[in-house]
Structure 1
Amino acid sequence: MMYKILIAEDSKPILRHIKELLQSSELPVQVAHTASNGEDALQGLRRLDIDILITDIRMPKLDGLALIEEAKKLRPGLKAVLISGYNDFEYTRKAINLQVADYLLKPVERGALTEVMERVIGQLGEQLLKEIAVLDEVIDPAVGRELTLHPRFFRHKKLVFVLHLQYFQEAAPVYRPDHIQNVLNRSFAPHPLWVFATSKPKEMLVLADPAMLEGTAATMELLARIRAPLAEGGLPVSVAGHFEPAAASEIAGCYRALSGLLENRLSVAEPCLADAAHPAALPPEAPGDFERLAARYADKIQKLQKEPFLRQLEEQLLKWGRSNARIARLQRFVALLADAFATHRPAAGWRNDRLYRSEAMALFEKVSYGEFCSGLLALTEDWFAELQSLNKKGGNELFGQIDDYLRASLYSQVSLNELSAAFHVSPSYISRVVKKFARRTLMQHYLNLKIEEARKVMQSKPSIKIKELSDALCFYDQHYFSKVFKEYAGCSPSEFKATLDGAEP
């Protein structure tokens, strides 16, 4: 990266001397323009993307301080270095109010110039880090650690957009910042756009050159133009835009506002477009209607009325699907259901209250609304089974009964579905109870019991053949039995038998 410098000095020998010192230095700088008066320098600043201005205080047509003042209006992040003589300290003190980065005394020497330029370049680097840090609030942390932007990236204000991938879609491997950026840059060339992954997996932050507004009759038209090429590529996205160019310090706030705008407008079936300055009104909602609906379901949970609950829930979900319900409303309803189940669980229940919500909200990652509905019905049916079981018996009691059943079935095979039928609870609930009390999965617990039995048999019948024991305990073959035995006993069956004989294996 080369920093661009403009030198304004009315003395040609001094100007030539400073230019030669900079060009012969090993600093990452480039002299982009020289000027012999203040007005010429100001014209250069208007035309060129200058990082550092080096100017004499006493300049014809426009003195150095006035030049810096005008330059700061054009480029607030510009770094200015004053050149002054010994009698110009009064001017130098005035320069403090203009946030001059540094100053040089005449005659300008290589060492002093190098020292000043290194300081100024360091300030530009720190300024860039602060500007990038503004994005840390919204972009994916993994991306932020690797983010490299041109130092002039934030010099000009940007348009801010947020993309949100439609819910209930197949996984989209091309929903990546680099792919989306390439698609949009092809559509909007020559105006560049930059795309960043955010901390929300379905959302992308898009920054754009304000010049892309040229020739656009309406903001909604531009939002539709952003969405169209992505939809053609299999990425149905909702788009929200902030059409007042934003400075670096304003980007995070714009993102949060746009993200919230979309969250309230996303629906089950169709992507949406939203202009931050003119958001469309949301459909009216009757006061208390939603709360009354949730209360009816909560009442059925409390009374353990599973069948009426599931029947009404299925009807409600179908109704919301037909009316293209808003995702925010659906999420709110699901959260209230989860909280109702958590509230009515017996004290014997092991489930953490927050787990109800996390399990329910995970359903919004389903690839279709139909799968979401069937998943919610299955999950709430499972929760009902858990509540009913815990009202009949504690989880500890159920585990004891399952453990007894497994111990009585060591010389056969027991499946999860068999246990579910035997104890009249859902398979997933059995898995959770065993995991809680055995600290192992059901299969791990069952295999451990079988290996314990195998060790007891070998201790009581040292002459038994390993294959005979493997077959009796219903293992697939002797090799698999030996593998499982070593995993749970810490040694192979033959090694274990050798220890019983008192010999080395």
Structure 2
Amino acid sequence: MYKILIAEDSKPILRNIKELLLTSGLPVQVVHTASNGADALEGVLSREVDILITDIRMPKLDGLAMIEEAKKAKPGLKVILISGYNDFEYTRKAINLQVTDYLLKPVERPALVEVMERVIVQLGEEHRKEFAVLDGILDPSFSQELTLPPGYFRNKKLVLVLHRQFFRGAVSGFLPGPVQELLNLSFAPHSFRVFAANKPNQLLVLTDPSFIDGSVSPMERLEQIGALLEDEGLPASIAGQFIPAAANEIAGCCHSLSGLLGSRISIAKTCLLDAAHPAGQGIEASEDVERIGARFTDKIQKLQKEPFLRQLEEQLLKWGRTNVRVAQLQRFTALLANAFAAHQQDRNGKNDWAAYMAEVQPLFECPSYGEFCSGLLALLEGWFTETQSLNKKGGYELFSLIDAYLKANLYSQVSMNELSAAFHVSPSYISRVVKKYSNSTLMQYYLDLKIAEARKVMQSNPAIKIKELSDALCFYDQHYFSKVFKEYAGCNPSEYKTMLKGG
């Protein structure tokens, strides 16, 4: 809703304009009316005003002089002048004051609506450009549906970043809507806007500088918000920037606060951080993760499975007691993933570090640290088994068995889980073995075998119908079969049959 101030010394004209605006159906609200230039200027300076509609000639303070002063204070203010025909040349001079548009007396509904619609379009475009300051820091799917009141970024904001606490159970309400409603209700009359950040489990919170006054310190505010979220079952670590930030500074503040949280948040206790005084929190003494990781990567290189798993369990228990920082835990798991990937690379020339990390990342969403530890131990035990198997057999024996199994089941549908159960290895291990020896994914390799079989059938039985062949090979959709056939054979089934007839 755009806010309008009307300045007109003629009461009938003023009432007419106000009535026309109220019944126009436009997204506008008249927040103040003034009968002289001085009162109008005071109204602009003391209120949120998007559009000023003013007569060009006003008592106490001339209309153009008043506009000049108002523009100095609020450069983005849109101004619509009201003038008579005799003042037309005078009105043209107002262009130098960046007057947006003008209306001639008597003001009639069609002309007023036309002018207002043009001004509203301009304000909307400027609002979208203003909102672009949040590009790159919000979740794209969230920002597409975001709406903010006009002029929201006109005043500076306090910036907070909330990070949902790790290993504290499944939290479903840690979303912009519920958190914004909770903050607005609990800290009224202060107003909050909450946004989904582009980093998982993070929210960006903006509020006005009045949230911090002489009666309460920034850290006390952080403690109040933290306790509120904890009581609602939404435990979160919080970092705040309590020096008011202009619109173009918000993205930088968000990145800085997010990085601060990322380096300090621990596995058990929430942390509260004031960017101006980022005192150390979490564990008292930071352990050398690189040194600890080196001990474990050495055992991976030497394939010492049992000592590795025993010592890893002990290390995880120790970190649970000392409240290790999540960043250290993430760095440690990355070192282990890199060690397994490097071992594979030594054998096949390909580094699958990203694939290993993709299996680790979901563990950080576990509802408890205990479940994280169990999951990590099970995962790494599986990696060790696979690595030892590759080291002993090179994986080729398993690939040969998989190949034979797929060829024996061309007229059915084999899934990854079925292969995993048949050969007692993990799906990820099967993927890596097939990739290594076929240079393609399992699905690509299986489809290639099916299309090769289809070509053999058409060679031996050219009269077979394409749909019959598609159904027999479990494609179930003739169009999909034709698409896959063309991708692998270079032509569609009908063209292939024609080629066979032509020799």
TM-score for the superposition, normalised by structure 2: 0.75
Answering whether residue 188 of structure 2 is matched by residue 186 of structure 1, we say: no
TM-score for the superposition, normalised by structure 1: 0.75
The 2-side partners of 1:175 and 1:23 are apart by 40
The 2-side partners of 1:402 and 1:290 are apart by 40
The 1-side partners of 2:401 and 2:368 are apart by 39
Structure 1 residues 469-488: aligned runs within 5 Å: 488=474
Contact 1:335 1:361 in 2 (8 A): no
Contact 2:56 2:91 in 1 (8 A): no
Greater mean alpha carbon deviation, residues 278-287 or residues 124-133: 278-287
Structure 1 residues 10-159: aligned runs within 5 Å: 10=9, 22=21, 27-72=26-71, 74-83=73-82, 85-88=87-90, 91-92=93-94, 94-95=96-97, 100-104=98-102, 107=105, 110=108, 113-159=112-158
1:222 aligned partner: 221
Please give the secondary structure, in 1, of the residue aligned with 2:273.
Answer: strand
Answering whether residue 240 of structure 2 is matched by residue 245 of structure 1, we say: no
Change over 3 Å in CA distance of 1:91–1:192 after alignment to 2: same
Residue identity matched to 2:257:
L
2:393 aligned partner: 393
Structure 1 residues 398-477: aligned runs within 5 Å: 398-401=398-401, 419-420=423-424, 429-430=429-430, 433=433
Contact 2:289 2:331 in 1 (8 A): no
Contact 1:348 1:394 in 2 (8 A): no
Change over 3 Å in CA distance of 1:224–1:30 after alignment to 2: closer
Q: How large is the RMSD of aligned CA atoms in angstroms?
A: 3.8
Change over 3 Å in CA distance of 1:39–1:109 after alignment to 2: closer
Please give the secondary structure, in 2, of the residue aligned with 1:347.
Answer: helix
Residue identity matched to 2:207:
A
Q: What is the deviation of 1:356?
A: 1.4
2:371 aligned partner: 371
Contact 1:163 1:240 in 2 (8 A): yes
The 2-side partners of 1:66 and 1:277 are apart by 43
Contact 1:72 1:78 in 2 (8 A): yes
Residue identity matched to 2:355:
L
List alignment gaps of at least 5 residues for structure 2. Answer: 410-417, 451-470, 478-503
Q: What is the deviation of 1:20?
A: 6.4
Please give the secondary structure, in 2, of the residue aligned with 1:171.
Answer: coil
Contact 2:218 2:274 in 1 (8 A): yes
Change over 3 Å in CA distance of 1:90–1:146 after alignment to 2: closer
Contact 1:239 1:274 in 2 (8 A): yes
Contact 1:382 1:428 in 2 (8 A): no
1:205 aligned partner: 204
Contact 1:9 1:35 in 2 (8 A): yes
Answering whether residue 262 of structure 2 is matched by residue 260 of structure 1, we say: no
The 1-side partners of 2:181 and 2:249 are apart by 25
Contact 1:193 1:208 in 2 (8 A): yes
Q: What is the deviation of 1:17?
A: 6.6
2:160 aligned partner: 161
Deviations 1:137-174 (A, max 9, x none): 22222222222222243343332211111111322122
Structure 1 residues 309-328: aligned runs within 5 Å: 309-328=308-327
Residue identity matched to 1:291:
E
Contact 1:267 1:324 in 2 (8 A): yes
Please give the secondary structure, in 2, of the residue aligned with 1:358.
Answer: helix
Residue identity matched to 1:386:
E
Deviations 1:281-310 (A, max 9, x none): 3678789x4333322322222222222222
Q: What is the deviation of 1:127?
A: 1.7
Residue identity matched to 1:385:
T
The 1-side partners of 2:39 and 2:406 are apart by 92
Q: What is the deviation of 1:398?
A: 1.6
2:297 aligned partner: 298
Highest CA radius of gyration, 1 or 2? Answer: 1
Please give the secondary structure, in 2, of the residue aligned with 1:159.
Answer: strand
Contact 1:75 1:155 in 2 (8 A): no
Change over 3 Å in CA distance of 1:27–1:416 after alignment to 2: closer
Contact 1:83 1:104 in 2 (8 A): yes
Residue identity matched to 2:165:
Q
Contact 2:176 2:194 in 1 (8 A): yes
Change over 3 Å in CA distance of 1:24–1:379 after alignment to 2: closer
Residue identity matched to 1:265:
R
Please give the secondary structure, in 1, of the residue aligned with 2:293.
Answer: helix
The 2-side partners of 1:197 and 1:101 are apart by 38
The 2-side partners of 1:292 and 1:70 are apart by 65
Residue identity matched to 1:370:
G
Residue identity matched to 1:233:
E
Greater mean alpha carbon deviation, residues 128-137 or residues 108-117: 108-117
Please give the secondary structure, in 2, of the residue aligned with 1:34.
Answer: strand
Contact 1:86 1:105 in 2 (8 A): no
Change over 3 Å in CA distance of 1:68–1:243 after alignment to 2: farther
Contact 1:156 1:247 in 2 (8 A): yes
2:279 aligned partner: 280
The 1-side partners of 2:62 and 2:284 are apart by 62
Change over 3 Å in CA distance of 1:182–1:107 after alignment to 2: closer
The 1-side partners of 2:185 and 2:30 are apart by 33
Deviations 1:321-362 (A, max 9, x none): 111111111111111221122112143487733111221222
The 2-side partners of 1:207 and 1:226 are apart by 13
The 1-side partners of 2:475 and 2:52 are apart by 76
Number of residue pairs matched by the alignment: 441
Please give the secondary structure, in 2, of the residue aligned with 1:41.
Answer: helix
The 2-side partners of 1:367 and 1:388 are apart by 31
Change over 3 Å in CA distance of 1:216–1:161 after alignment to 2: farther
The 2-side partners of 1:180 and 1:124 are apart by 29
2:415 aligned partner: none
The 2-side partners of 1:70 and 1:320 are apart by 63
The 2-side partners of 1:279 and 1:334 are apart by 26
The 1-side partners of 2:323 and 2:38 are apart by 62
Deviations 1:208-244 (A, max 9, x none): 2333324642111111111212211211111112222
Contact 2:158 2:207 in 1 (8 A): yes
The 1-side partners of 2:276 and 2:47 are apart by 33
The 2-side partners of 1:143 and 1:260 are apart by 21
Q: What is the deviation of 1:364?
A: 0.9
1:381 aligned partner: 381
